[in-house]
Chains A and B, each alone.
Chain A
């Protein structure tokens, strides 16, 4: 039915099968849209947030998707600026994942603010001292860059290519993509960093605050570094999931190994910096404010030392070690374990830097505050996942996302596209 739109020489599932899959995920998406509508209509009283938990699951989801979406800017930087040519075989997909992550982040922000119609105030009445202002500007600008990076891939659709203007536009945009990749890397450095700065500058919160360089707390640099380190893990993970769903090899092993290796070394260097930061914070920063490490990890029913160990050792040191060693990196099972752990690790880091900050009591007579999201918050947090699955499914079906797909999956001439 939609054969004319499917890339030439590519094999896809039947249209009814595709439609059923989209409908199932679409139902989840609609559930999220309904919850979103409720929140916009009735207000944030639809959530379980409160005055202790002004920042909650959405801000975590926002930071997490931006972190894992970091694969787009970092892979773009490697491909276009450092000229690592093999990565051209995964850059399209990295850009699509980044596009999904960043559009989701902007949507989450639009849901999260109490007065959505005043969202533009952040640009109009910008406070240059606020990390959130920097986030808003760089995030929006980078989303525009991602859109520009995504457009040539869209224009490569079989039907769009028949229009000479689109054909030439796509070709010429590819030619200047290095400029956008550089711009994207610059913007990403600042918005990933300023998201880390959001926590690090909160000097009223000893769990969050960090010293730093000039106006930037160490969390600024750690967030950028971790996004560049773990973002490619997410790109590889989604590629692996897509391969499993489509039952096809889509990217050659040498490309996967290369990205995994780069990610591994980035994780190792990041985790060394993170360990140093944690030790300095635990031994110097927090004690100077009257707090011991145990204050942050005891006397409550959820946040224990386990979260620190899980984040740094289990989901940091271990995936880093697996990915830097050739033998373990090229073992597909171990590599999958490593990239899953890596993605969990960076998401856990964002969780800690949003929700645990809110949970820890600061005044000596205050108490721990724990929170569980309402169904509306859960539905709106799942919404971007459903949206992402649908967009990936559409992109995979109708666009030449993976340049190596046909080489890896030759279609017999007699076999008609389903």
Chain B
């Protein structure tokens, strides 16, 4: 039976950095859910595969003013300049092994298509893409615990966070079976990291759907930013920001923090620039 789904979702995430404790549950759940391989010796982090990686940031001040924040970083599922789907990685892949889903906003990776040129890794400023330097090796018996819904990857290909795409497929099937082909319930499609986060720091859903919590928090501006025409979907919530937003990559992962230094750390600014633009929050609610 052919499934038709005409609704255009735009799945995204907002991570409350003030709630994140850096416990790493999101990383563990992601690896477990997606059959992410690991090495015998994980001390060399630059060739470890962590679809979700938690960065530790500090405000650079000495004790007692030191503040620390933990920043989980999945694939940002960039919409690319102008949000047209030409993500930094998708546009460069020579073999269409990574693609932008206009129906979901998810950047996919086709493992059997990838031939391992790694151009996408070079193009991604977030280091969200990982290469399989080795064939995956599971400790004896662990093969039995692999998820049957996610194909393990072979040596020589790139992989990355898929926003647990298999969960989307399952939710879509379920919605269709229930005769509700145009609407996936918010609770039916949640990523593994979202469900695993003990402090509820990660909120996931459809950025296009005003009924979804992620939309409510982010309040994405559908208009291009008047300061930078490449930026679309800027948050109108003054506490919300995206990583490297000025590059025009248009990520669908947003971050939330009450702390100004954390929001400032999300991007690069020339001297004095931050103070001029920190209160600029999109086209329609611009208050600068």
Binding site for B on A (CB under 8 A): 43-45, 49-55, 112-116, 118-119, 121-122, 124-127, 129-133, 136, 198, 201-206, 287-292, 295, 357-358, 362-366, 369
Contact = CB atoms under 8 A, between A and B. Distances in A.
Contact of B115 (A115, A133, A295): A115
8 contacts: A44-B156, A113-B115, A115-B116, A122-B94, A201-B91, A204-B249, A290-B268, A365-B55
A124 B113 CA distance: 10
Contact of A114 (B71, B116, B265, B266): B116
Contact of A365 (B57, B116, B269): B57
B124 interface: yes
Interface of B: 44, 46-48, 55, 57, 71, 81, 86, 88, 91-97, 113-119, 121-127, 129-135, 154-158, 243-244, 246-249, 264-270, 273
B281 to A, nearest CB: 18
Contacts of B243: 363
Contacts of A204: 88, 123-126, 244, 247, 249
A363 B268 CA distance: 7
Contacts, number: 164
B269 A52 contact: no
Given A126-B95, A290-B246, A292-B270, A115 B114 contact: yes
Contacts of B116: 44, 113-115, 118
Contacts of A55: 118-119, 122
Contact of B81 (A121, A129, A203, A292): A203
B126 A363 contact: yes
A112 B155 CA distance: 13
Given A132-B119, A198-B119, 14 more contacts: A43-B156, A50-B46, A50-B133, A52-B127, A55-B118, A113-B156, A114-B156, A127-B95, A129-B92, A198-B92, A203-B249, A290-B268, A290-B270, A366-B127
Contact of A45 (B96, B97, B134): B134
A47 B157 CA distance: 15
B126 A51 contact: no
Given A44-B133, A204-B244, A204-B249, A290 B269 contact: yes
B134 A133 contact: no
B123 A43 contact: no
A51 B86 CA distance: 22
A130 B86 CA distance: 11
B131 A203 contact: no
A202 B123 contact: yes
Nearest to B69: A365
User: Which of A49, A54, A290, A369 has the most chain B CB atoms closer than 10 A to its own CB?
Assistant: A54
Nearest to A292: B270
The 9 closest A-B pairs by CB, nearest first: A114-B116, A114-B156, A290-B268, A54-B118, A54-B121, A204-B125, A118-B115, A50-B46, A204-B88
A401 to B, nearest CB: 35
A386 to B, nearest CB: 25
Contacts of A365: 55, 57, 71, 265
Contacts of A358: 122
A130 B246 contact: no
Given A126-B95, A364-B266, A54 B131 contact: yes
Given A54-B118, A114-B157, A115-B114, A364 B265 contact: yes
B270 A51 contact: no
A63 to B, nearest CB: 13
Given A45-B134, A114-B115, A290-B267, A51 B92 contact: no
A49 B122 CA distance: 12
